[in-house]
A and B are shown apart, each in its own frame.
Chain A
């Protein structure tokens, strides 16, 4: 296994009597896209700000690319791109001037600066907006511009705090596509968001934080379809569902949820892939004309709420989760 790009160890941060972050431990491997999920006030932004060298922990450490964020903040800043939840705009400044200024601020010389600005504008499709004043941009355009600004110095790790907040569906799709393209190019992402379904689509792993502690880590798929969890299946037949209802009543581990036209919704106590496969095979073997067999999806939001309700008191993981 390669050296983790991010190593967070026993991170703690308090504001007066409020413990915002209480012993976070996790690693992020290079090239991963990791979602950071938690309710408002769970400690997401505090943890991200410490990672971005903008705040200092009370104890614990963060190493990025092998550099400690406290001892080597300048080296860390070269490795990261930080996109806060509320990004500012400058009055009397055009899109091109904004990017040009940040490219200067990152220390690029004239030729290299033009090259970087052009590349970023092309990537984020900002070309048509080059001469437009920043305060005339829509939220989606401004978000693309901010992502472009984050990419100017070609960072290895992008830390995005609520990047999709306030975007309309079209802008969200565009933004998601940009993230996917960058992830495909090998960039590492650490993204917090409240739009959990989108995080599930673009992230390799999810970190759930509650009251300053990590309460779950793993892939979205694992969270949505745990092997031990029961499943609800919708079965549609070519014929009337009367025989199916009798069949269900005689079959252990399967219960009827409701009948629907030409079918029924069934609950399987064991909802793993093997059990589902066995159920479908049994239906066909017993002569039912199955024309549709679909496991009902579970929303990430539901999983999140269920987990907070039942898992917030769970103990800290014994070892740092490697995502």
Chain B
């Protein structure tokens, strides 16, 4: 499963991880997006997992890529859902992954915080890095990874608990020691939901509308103060009004988080994203700045897709 070197490097990786994810190491980083054309297909940019890592908190601004894939493939049994994708996702930007159904975009997204582990008979080849940590490396603890790489799902999936406990649960089990009330309020404000629910925090989350539930899920993910927010078609189950609110929210979130969004909706990708990646039949066809992709696509298939000739 793992492509990284095992043995001696494992111990080193563990040290890195501890530094990376340990309590003192948990520092939020602001990432000014100074890198204009930060998306590039680069192999050299990605440090190898066995390379001696700097004994400090991962500073992604220097690496220009927050999450990067290097010849990364995902198999469901014998079916290769993602085919040798090489891609870098820059910090502090919204990256959209578009493509027709079944092109592997959700699979790729779910690989970024190892949600595919839930699906039996899944295996991967190639490398996928979060900062300079191999996500599928032996030293990577998926639980720690998921704290740093949050996820919002296609359908709103709040827990059958109160609104307050929906948000407070994850920080609590992850050992958050600060003021929970304040954290809940801050998270709800970040998700632009505070004003609507501040008087009914102890009501069931199921009493909210679909759009509110989805924003609650975003607040819940944000409450863990992750670095990256993965969104798997977050608006596909919502009406246009709720969709508009979520899109607005994504604009605000990118000031603090790296956002990766998978969407069917090309207009949405155009509205919210800085960069767009187009996938087709498991392959990454093209990545570029969103404006470029939609105006001057470099590949015939991209052009066909965005002009609606297939998909």
Q: Decide if A and B are genuine partners.
A: no
Chain A contact residues, CB within 8 Å of chain B:
none
